[in-house]
Amino acid sequence: MRNLNSDMKNHEIFISYSRKDLQQVISIRDEIKEKIGAESWIDIKGIESGDQFINKIVGAIDKAKVVLFMVSEASMKSEYAQREVMYAKNSGKKVVPVILDNSQLQGWFLFLFGVVDYIDINNPRQKDKFFENMRGWLGLADNDEGPVDLFDVGLHYYLKHDYQVALDWLMRAAKYEYADAQYYIGLCYCFGHGVDIDYKKAKEWLMKAASQNHADAEENIGLLYKHGLGVKRDSREALRWYRKAWGHGSLSAQYDIGKCYYFGRGVDIDYQEAVRWFAMAAENGLAKAMASLGYCYFEGEGVPVDYKKALYWFEKSGGSTASYHIGYCYYHGLGVKKNYKKGVSWFEKAIKTNHAASEYYLGLCYYYGYGVKRNLSAAIVHFRKAVKQGYEEAREILKAIDKDAGEVPPEKFTIL
């Protein structure tokens, strides 16, 4: 029979718990050992005296890769559990709350952990996920796992924003020259996910994936050249990579190519060609391409002005800029019957993501009572928000309001 005093030299897991939960904790420890082969350290003899006990606890936490805090009514009242968890968190350990008795984190523990994913060990699905996650946290893999399996685990943790664990799995898959893994490692270096930002290393990994015709990697290399990240800024080279990405199936590369023609990056400005590429991407469901295509119809760039088509694409695309333009059309009666109330509704959607022009138009609506009950105070609030976001027209109307004691002719500021 196993010695219940877990003073193990090679443990990977430290378990913090209340002795009132001892039998359930022992069962969990044994199941961890059985399913993934990992040893756990738990204090079973009970609290020893003074420095000897503290040194054992500190040493055991230091050696562990993961600390499991067994959440129960009893453990959340335990001073020692609190000290163990605090030391583990301060030491940079992965600390995972495991619910034993349907308790919820509360008090000091809720303050420390905040809103985090926890494991309800009584829920069969969560319990299965717990063992799957534990393998990732400990960096374990079956010897017979190939690059697809390794990548899938890495992607799982990447999407959960557990980037250091993700990167370990992605690196394992990349040893097989697996293009998707190389691509995501490139993203990690681009965005500082689990590593320091390093655009040169990012390009190295993206180039490895691109050598296997990985379209997303090719597009991102183009973006590095566009912004001059880790390479010399080169719009022509960016466009060349966008075209390669498009040739290998990237839909968003169509949009990138359209922007090159729209802004004259690496080619002469050609609005008609920009519209052609935006339309291809929009038809394939890319929201930002829909918004750009709507803007071209709105402004008459590359196509005749057509507010109805503009509205169609703005409504399909979503987003704050599209919401603003829809509101603008209702405010001015462009492509639709003038309807201030609908205009207000769309402007309100747009300001949820800090859209300055929509703040300004809401200010006008409240100032003149267009679609809402006239409210000078609300108008001033929206004008000030617009000014704060850099919309200078709002500054001018605030000056006029102050000068004219709140009375400004409607025709002075409504048409821009």
The pTM assigned to this predicted structure is 0.61
Apex 316 CA angle, 227 and 296, nearest 5: 55
pLDDT tens readout for residues 279-298: 999 998 999 999 999 999 99
Q: What is the per-residue pLDDT for 116? A: 54
Query: Residue 6 — very low, low, confident or very high, per pLDDT cuts 50/70/90?
Result: very low
Closest CA to 26 of 11, 46, 5, 55: 5
Q: pLDDT value at position 405? A: 53
Residue with tokens 């799982």: 156
pLDDT over 90 at 51, yes or no = no
Mean pLDDT of 169-187: 94
Which residues, other chains included, contact 200 with Cβ-Cβ below 8 Å and sequence gap of 6+? Answer: 230
Q: Which two tokens stand for residue 355?
A: 């859209």
- The pLDDT tens digits of the residues spanning 325-370 come to 999 999 999 999 999 999 999 999 999 988 999 999 999 999 999 9
> What span, in angstroms and rounded, lies between the C-alpha atoms of 102 and 122?
8
Q: Is residue 245 within 8 Å of 214, Cβ to Cβ?
A: no
For 202-234, write each residue's pLDDT tens digit: 999 999 999 999 999 999 999 999 999 999 999
Give 153-210 as a DSSP string.
Answer: HHHHHHHTT-HHHHHHHHHHHHTTT-HHHHHHHHHHHHHTSSS---HHHHHHHHHHHH
**pLDDT exceeds cutoff 60 at 154:** yes
Measured CA to CA, the distance from residue 310 to residue 25 in angstroms comes to 62
Which range, of 3-7, 14-18, 215-219, 356-360, averages the lowest pLDDT? Answer: 3-7
The predicted pLDDT at position 399 comes to: 87
